[in-house]
């Protein structure tokens, strides 16, 4: 049976629940809802769920450290399950992409994202796929500090687009599981 680890990035705690930086957690929540598998406390600093989808055993984790230390949990679970980087899909927010846009890549740099930087550091490798979810281009919010922007909640007029993006991101992950990354990139790497 194949294995896939899906990591949703975000900041743990009620205060951060609906912020832009927590899109990765929101996507995990949607997968858990669809698959009827609630996240439960793991052995380390993460919440975890597992489901078999077709011929793939999928483990979902949400690190319970703050974003900047997400790599600790990813490394622990990857070592426990004996996974290579290509078997780890990270779902993260991206303020360089318009709201609602998805970008799936097989590997890459951290792009200035502290959660991705932590994972690259702790794995010692950047060869893991990542699904970046556009949270709105920060330059549109003139003069705003990046940290303030990503930790802000979505505006009421953005909520419909956010919900649609979360659904499409979950769809993309299901497509990746059943059809592979190349087909998924072709299908989902476009604007809304």
Mind telling me the catalytic residues?
21
Six token digits for residue 120 = 């690259």
Six token digits for residue 128 = 């893991």
**Nearest alpha carbon to residue 133 among 171, 161, 106, 95:** 95
C-alpha to C-alpha distance for 93 and 104, rounded to whole angstroms = 12
Altogether, the residues listed in the chain come to a count of 192
C-alpha to C-alpha distance for 73 and 96, rounded to whole angstroms = 26
Residue 147, C-beta contacts closer than 8 angstroms, at least 6 positions apart: none
What Å distances lie between residue 31 and 15, 35, 51, 173, CA to CA? 22, 6, 10, 9
C-alpha to C-alpha distance for 71 and 44, rounded to whole angstroms = 12
Give φ, ψ of 25 to 5 degrees. -65, -40
């Amino acid at each position: 049976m194949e294995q896939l680890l899906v990591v949703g990035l975000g900041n743990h705690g009620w205060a951060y629940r609906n912020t832009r930086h927590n899109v990765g957690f929101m996507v995990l929540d949607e997968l858990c809802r669809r698959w009827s598998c609630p996240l439960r406390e793991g052995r380390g600093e993460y919440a975890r769920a597992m489901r078999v989808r077709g011929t793939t055993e999928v483990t979902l984790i949400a690190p319970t450290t703050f974003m900047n230390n997400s790599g600790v949990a990813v490394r622990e679970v990857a070592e426990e399950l004996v996974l290579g980087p290509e078997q780890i899909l990270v779902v993260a927010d991206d303020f360089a992409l318009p709201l609602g846009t998805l970008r799936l890549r097989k590997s890459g740099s951290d792009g200035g994202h502290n959660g991705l930087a932590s994972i690259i550091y702790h794995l010692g490798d950047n060869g893991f796929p990542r699904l970046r979810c556009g949270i709105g281009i920060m330059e549109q919010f003139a003069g705003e500090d990046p940290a303030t922007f990503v930790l802000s909640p979505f505006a009421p007029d953005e909520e419909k687009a956010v919900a649609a993006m979360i659904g499409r991101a979950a769809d993309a992950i299901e497509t990746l599981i059943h059809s592979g990354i190349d087909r998924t990139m072709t299908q989902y790497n476009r604007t809304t």
